[in-house]
Structure 1
Amino acid sequence: MTLPTRDSSPDALHAAMVRRLIHTGAALTVAVAEAMAAVPRHLFLDAPPRVAYSEQDIITKRAADGPVLSWASAPGTVATTLEQLIVLPDQNVLEIGTGTGYTTALLAHLIGKGGHVTTLDIDPDITAAARDTLTATGHTAITAITGDGRHGHPDGAPYHRIVAAGTWDIPAAWWDQLTRGGRLVVPLRLRGQSYSIGFAHRGDRMVSDTIEHAGLTPMIVHEGERTASIHRDSLVSLVLDHDQPINSAVLSGVLHRGQAVAVSGVTLGRDAPVDGIWLRLAATEAGCCRITAQPSAVTSQLCTPAIPVGSPALVNEDSLAYLTLTPERYGYAHVLGAIGHGPKRHQLTDRIIAAIHAWDQDRAAAPTITLHRSTPDTTTRTRLIIKGANRLTITY
């Protein structure tokens, strides 16, 4: 994280943030850049201006037992989300997940005096604090209410745009309250990973046209997921979707069974994301899921995923394989590979290597992610992902 070092006044730090967002491409349009310049971020945060204008998420509320309940996403994440949303003057916008009210203020700037923003949060304390800050900063033409975001806010519908906190599925209320041709931007969970997806509403379908790395606060419950330990003391776990026919019990101890190591020859820069490979696997593999390994599991070489807190894995009955990295000779990059365990370890590592090579042929390629309100007619090569009442396809 790079912080400005010269003039430390709020105005100077604010201006430096906007320049950074333009330089990095997070703010691509004049409208978004002007909105980011018009709304002082530090007024919405209980943090020093130097921190408020840095490129970092800031925790704003924790539960009594420690888990994070709310945070303010980094400015770059917010700007990217606004670019995905394509807000136009005079539109009616619903924001699900109020947070500090900062994004609410940016939305209000983008729609101008002829539009309206309704912001909704399940936590009354968050709603009240955001309402106070919005009023104090002159943003009075905003409706801030407390409620369950899964139900939207029918009294203010229909909406031209809906922007939401992270979720595992798209509730029916969002379909119904968004105008046909409107846009929904949401960090959506796909096989254990989140992607910020810009959807266009096409009646019985939501069709993606932008996919970005996700960084927004998730809604409290991902009801479509379950976590299963595959080693004692939960040193290694899998995050699975309820539609996946995976019996985690037969994987207990799999990491001590026969091992296969496969190397792709494809390199990845330090700290580069593996989202593209993950999406490739999610598009084609019924057993694609998330593997997590505790530090002691990594140190002991029991399990060494590419990213220990969450990497793509494949499961087939009593066998498992996952994406891994090995340092290149001079340490400037890593070589992508796969490690497998169990009777089908070689087949699973081969499939991960194939996904790596498919991704490497065009690393910028983005699939079309389509949400269907009913089961679509698909080819045998298109895998359906079941999300509650919705069906999802990923096509390249």
Structure 2
Amino acid sequence: MTTVRDSSVQDAAASLRAAMVGALRDMDAITSERVAAAIAAVPRHLFAVGEPLEAAYAANNALVIKRGLNGAAISSLSATHIQAVMLEQAEIEPGMRVLEIGSGGYNAALIQELVGDGGKVTSVDIDPEIVARARTCLDAAGYDRVKVVLADAENGVPEGAPYDRIIVTAGAWDIPPAWVDQLSARGRIVVPLRMRGLTRSVAFDRDSLGLASHSYRLSGFVPMQGSGSHSERIVTLDEGVALRVDDESQQFDVEALREALRSPRLERWSGAAFDLPDELELFLVTSAPRVALLHASEELVERGYFAPSAAKGVPALIRGGSFAYRTKRPNEETGGFESGVFAHGPEAEAVAAQYVDLLRRWASDHCRRGAARLGYIPKAAGATEPSQGLVTKRHGVVTISWS
């Protein structure tokens, strides 16, 4: 029997769900009626145990499920905004077989709504606590048909293959062979793939070479655990200044770059509009061979030693003991802001000119959503780093071209 209190909570949750769906529509995270209906149906608060209802139904609110010994999040209930975007990318149809990599429970419930009674959903996670929690929450919410598996997702879940869709809800540095092997002939993988420090949720379909992108969107997830994990290198240049290096083979002349930091700053301006920074950054990191993300502390930014772009990490073009990175300034003639470059080191002029050329090319040829075409070629041979338009991984190579 439903108590008055239970009925009150259910009514409040239903109202908040409807409001969340409306917010997600306004954000263009929801673009289909089927995804809207799934999000309106699943009681997210039952997967956000211990959280206030308002927090559970905030469209942009990611909730940490578990932290590691260092305090960093190792499992989270992703923001519904991101989950909606990835479900739209997946285009799940009734009756499909879907593998979710990374369990929280809520996303698997959404997928079950989308595949319906004729479909099958398998969710896999390497952490026994997360698996147990997902199972408990799914059962409490009435989604007992979802299969939850404890395993290292690097190997997929072969007993449920082939899958029409594989949806990865953890930050992946590579695409393991098992995921491709377990994909059906017309299957799709939606994966938050890290490329030179940037993560994009990419929807890959099969093609003659391996995989080709259907779409990509900005995203961020806790990193993959297990044998598919990969750690970035932090190269400290000075107190409060570091490079975040994602590609295993990239090496830098650290002493020369430290010396460059002490050299006068060169400024060069492109005359091009600054717009769509997430698309621009993807273009920059994939269009030059030696790029890393430059990070500077808030204190150094506030003191004027670095542009504000460096506070959160900005693509830096590196040539020997010199480097350049992107900045901006107000300019009504370019529509509000103009992109430019700060450079340091003995080859500051040359590296600044190269960077400015990239900014101009972006503004004139590629400044729009979805201009990149990404591919993945499994077990590629002969591709070496650093290389323009290629990002070599452990099991293959990511290809990037711009239209």
* TM-score for the superposition, normalised by structure 2: 0.87
Q: Secondary structure at 2:311's aligned position in 1? A: coil
Mapped to 1, the partners of 2:111 and 2:31 lie a distance apart of 16
**C-alpha distance after superposition, 1:342-390 (max 9, x if no partner):** 1222222223222223332332242111111244899xx9632211130
| Equivalence for 2:3 | none
Q: Is the 8 A contact 1:162 1:184 kept in 2?
A: yes
Q: Is the 8 A contact 2:100 2:108 kept in 1?
A: yes
| Equivalence for 1:5 | none
**C-alpha distance after superposition, 1:170-207 (max 9, x if no partner):** 11111111123210011111111111111002254110
2:155 to 151, 155, 171: 151
Mapped to 2, the partners of 1:289 and 1:86 lie a distance apart of 34
Q: Secondary structure at 2:309's aligned position in 1? A: coil
Q: Which moved more, 1:319-328 or 1:77-86?
A: 319-328
Q: Secondary structure at 2:122's aligned position in 1? A: strand
Q: Assess, with a 3 A threshold, how the Cα gap between structure 1 residues 33 and 368 changes in structure 2: closer, same or farther.
A: same
Mapped to 2, the partners of 1:248 and 1:154 lie a distance apart of 45
| Equivalence for 1:11 | 14
Task: Give the counterpart letter for 1:261 in structure 2.
Answer: E
Q: Is the 8 A contact 2:109 2:138 kept in 1?
A: yes
Mapped to 2, the partners of 1:88 and 1:139 lie a distance apart of 18
Task: Give the counterpart letter for 1:105 in structure 2.
Answer: A
Q: Assess, with a 3 A threshold, how the Cα gap between structure 1 residues 278 and 376 changes in structure 2: closer, same or farther.
A: farther
| Equivalence for 2:83 | 78
Task: Give the counterpart letter for 1:223 in structure 2.
Answer: H
| Equivalence for 1:279 | 282
Mapped to 1, the partners of 2:166 and 2:280 lie a distance apart of 28
1:225 to 212, 227, 232: 232
Mapped to 2, the partners of 1:286 and 1:222 lie a distance apart of 24
Q: Is the 8 A contact 1:255 1:303 kept in 2?
A: no
Mapped to 2, the partners of 1:367 and 1:123 lie a distance apart of 35
| Equivalence for 1:175 | 180
Q: Is the 8 A contact 1:18 1:36 kept in 2?
A: yes
Q: CA RMSD in A?
A: 2.4
User: In the TM superposition, what is the alpha-carbon distance from 1:139 to its structure 2 partner?
Assistant: 0.5
2:303 to 284, 300, 305: 300
Mapped to 1, the partners of 2:81 and 2:390 lie a distance apart of 33
1:134 aligns with 2:141: no
Mapped to 1, the partners of 2:395 and 2:75 lie a distance apart of 28
Task: Give the counterpart letter for 1:388 in structure 2.
Answer: R
Gaps of 5+ in 2: 1-10
1:69 aligns with 2:55: no
**C-alpha distance after superposition, 1:236-280 (max 9, x if no partner):** 3332411334344432332112421122344447xxx62211222
| Equivalence for 1:385 | 391
Task: Give the counterpart letter for 1:264 in structure 2.
Answer: S
| Equivalence for 1:193 | 198
Q: Assess, with a 3 A threshold, how the Cα gap between structure 1 residues 207 and 334 changes in structure 2: closer, same or farther.
A: same
Mapped to 2, the partners of 1:203 and 1:150 lie a distance apart of 23
Q: Is the 8 A contact 1:236 1:293 kept in 2?
A: yes
Mapped to 1, the partners of 2:258 and 2:382 lie a distance apart of 37
Q: Assess, with a 3 A threshold, how the Cα gap between structure 1 residues 224 and 61 changes in structure 2: closer, same or farther.
A: closer
* TM-score for the superposition, normalised by structure 1: 0.89
Mapped to 1, the partners of 2:396 and 2:162 lie a distance apart of 21
Q: Which moved more, 1:333-342 or 1:29-38?
A: 333-342
1:358 aligns with 2:361: yes
Q: Is the 8 A contact 1:198 1:211 kept in 2?
A: yes
User: In the TM superposition, what is the alpha-carbon distance from 1:222 to its structure 2 partner?
Assistant: 4.9
| Equivalence for 2:128 | 124
Q: Return structure 1 stretches of 4+ with deviation > 6 angstroms.
A: none
Q: Secondary structure at 2:355's aligned position in 1? A: helix
Mapped to 2, the partners of 1:176 and 1:225 lie a distance apart of 27
| Equivalence for 2:31 | 28
| Equivalence for 1:251 | 257
Q: Secondary structure at 2:316's aligned position in 1? A: strand
Q: Secondary structure at 1:9's aligned position in 2? A: helix
Q: Secondary structure at 2:69's aligned position in 1? A: coil
User: In the TM superposition, what is the alpha-carbon distance from 1:225 to its structure 2 partner?
Assistant: 3.2
| Equivalence for 1:291 | 294
1:216 to 221, 226, 248: 221
Q: How many residue pairs get matched? A: 380
